[in-house]
């Protein structure tokens, strides 16, 4: 769905401990670090006062582990956001959480702040797998926290699950999925393990201590998930996400629809008025930039007066061609694919004039399909989605 309303992303870079596979920007917080970070975050948010009147219809606390924050800290951030931006009445407010950091009181606090979507990083319902991943919670803890979240009034809950893991059999994955479905969450995200450089898992793989993924099993687990969820009333709306009707994640859809969003905090990204901005990933540089209000970006002040916060390290004005590439690359992740009429409205040019050969060629190979106005990946296309999407890069 196309929307020009604004999304806000808040990066909370703290975790109790690092999981073996994780390359997200996160680390265990030092004494007093959470409080200091929240204060910097509010400083960064306040810089936007009066800079845009675009209504906000989604807020996403991601990380890291945002549920490591206390209710009071989240309240301070939300108050600041509400003071600076115009919130839509039905604004979706998501908080990512780790079951090992939740309890009844916290969940009640989060709900009372207006957080109306809870995303739980469950990953598996097998304790041996959770230990292998380096998670800080057990399967039972995840089940308990889910029930407590329901009790606290959360009626829109996502579960994050991981498949294609060393040691995870087909039966094991089926069991995890069954247990997840028995909870009747509104939304499920399912990701295959990727060995990211710089992680302990990658190192173990390099040293031969961790086997390579079994591609055939990876695909079997993936398609089993899509088929099972479809049969249980969920709509897979993106390569790795399925939801009950009307409960697709509004915030994440913005990324795949090339809609505007502003990111706050360490390493956060923004796409706003055709610019891509990237905050520094260095905690000390972030602090210095905000306290001294001295621009980190080489570009400094934008020549046309576009506002760029001092903690932004990289600023790039997308060319029209780059926007087209991103529109296609990201849009094809959605199950509905991209709408040709939307492309033409946005860029004022006939789609086939821009991409005269790609569609014919990919259709011929059975990787892409067209239904009326819609261009989307076939199941075979989904299996090699990255290489199909790359065909739309100039």
> Judged by CB under 6 A, does residue 130 bind ligand SF4?
no
Dihedral angle, C-alpha 296, 316, 257, 159, nearest 10 °: -30
- Decide: 132 and 165 in contact? Cβ < 8 Å: yes
Nearest partner of 291 among 54, 114, 36, judged by Cα: 36
> Judged by CB under 6 A, does residue 101 bind ligand SF4?
no
Closest contact distance (angstroms) between CB of 251 and ligand SF4 is 17
CB atoms within 10 A of CB 346: 15
Selected binder of ligand SF4 within 3, 22, 192, 347 (CB under 6 A): 22
Selected binder of ligand SF4 within 5, 18, 219, 363 (CB under 6 A): 18
Nearest partner of 385 among 323, 342, 330, 338, judged by Cα: 330
Q: Which is nearer to ligand SF4, 26 or 94 (CB)?
A: 26
| Rounded Cα–Cα distance for residues 104 and 89 (Å) | 27
Selected binder of ligand SF4 within 24, 202, 205, 224 (CB under 6 A): 24
Closest contact distance (angstroms) between CB of 194 and ligand SF4 is 12
Q: Any idea what the Cα angle at residue 17 is, between residues 180 and 225, rounded to 5°?
A: 20
- Decide: 331 and 338 in contact? Cβ < 8 Å: yes
Selected binder of ligand SF4 within 15, 45, 226, 312 (CB under 6 A): 15
Q: Which is nearer to ligand SF4, 18 or 374 (CB)?
A: 18
Provide the b/e sequence for 94-116 (b: ≥16 CB within 10 Å): bbbbbbbbbeeebbebbbebebb
Q: Which is nearer to ligand SF4, 196 or 301 (CB)?
A: 196
Selected binder of ligand SF4 within 19, 77, 162, 308 (CB under 6 A): 19
> Judged by CB under 6 A, does residue 225 bind ligand SF4?
no
> Judged by CB under 6 A, does residue 65 bind ligand SF4?
yes
> Judged by CB under 6 A, does residue 121 bind ligand SF4?
yes
| Binding region for ligand SF4 (CB under 6 A) | 15, 18-19, 22, 24, 26, 63-65, 98, 121
């Amino acid at each position: 769905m196309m929307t020009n309303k604004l999304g806000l992303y808040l990066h909370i870079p703290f975790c109790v401990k690092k999981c073996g596979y994780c390359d997200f920007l996160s680390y265990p917080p030092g004494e007093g670090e959470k409080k200091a970070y929240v204060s910097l975050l509010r400083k960064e948010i306040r810089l936007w006062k009066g800079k845009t009147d675009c209504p906000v219809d989604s807020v996403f606390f991601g990380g890291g582990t945002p549920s490591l924050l206390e209710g009071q800290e989240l309240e301070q951030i939300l108050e600041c956001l509400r003071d600076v931006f115009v919130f839509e009445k039905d604004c979706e407010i998501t908080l990512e959480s780790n079951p090992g950091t939740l309890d009844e009181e916290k969940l009640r606090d989060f709900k009372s702040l207006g957080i109306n979507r809870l995303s739980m990083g469950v990953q598996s319902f097998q304790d041996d797998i959770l230990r292998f991943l380096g998670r800080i919670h057990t399967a039972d803890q995840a089940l308990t926290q889910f029930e407590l979240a329901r009790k606290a009034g959360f009626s829109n809950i996502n579960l994050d699950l991981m498949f294609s893991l060393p040691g995870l059999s087909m039966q094991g994955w089926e069991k995890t999925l069954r247990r997840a479905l028995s909870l009747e969450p509104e939304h499920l995200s399912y990701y295959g393990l990727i060995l990211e450089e710089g992680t302990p898992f990658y190192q173990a793989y390099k040293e031969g201590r961790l086997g390579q993924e079994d591609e055939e099993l990876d695909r079997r687990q993936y398609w089993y998930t899509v088929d099972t969820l479809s049969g249980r009333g969920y709509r897979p709306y993106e390569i790795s996400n399925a939801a009950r009707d009307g409960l697709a994640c509004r915030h994440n859809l913005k990324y795949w629809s090339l809609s505007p969003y502003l990111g706050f905090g360490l390493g956060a990204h923004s796409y706003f008025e055709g610019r891509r901005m990237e905050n520094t990933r260095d905690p000390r540089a972030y602090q210095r930039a905000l306290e001294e209000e001295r621009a980190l970006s080489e570009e400094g002040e934008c020549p046309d007066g576009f506002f760029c916060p001092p903690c932004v390290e990289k600023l790039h004005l997308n060319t029209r061609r780059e926007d087209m590439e991103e529109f296609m690359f990201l849009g094809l992740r959605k199950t509905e694919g991209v709408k040709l009429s939307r492309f033409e409205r946005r860029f004022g040019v006939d789609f086939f004039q821009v991409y005269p050969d790609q569609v014919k060629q990919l259709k011929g190979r059975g990787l892409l399909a067209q239904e009326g106005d819609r261009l989307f990946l076939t199941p075979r296309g989904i299996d090699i989605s990255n290489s199909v999407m790359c065909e739309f890069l100039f």
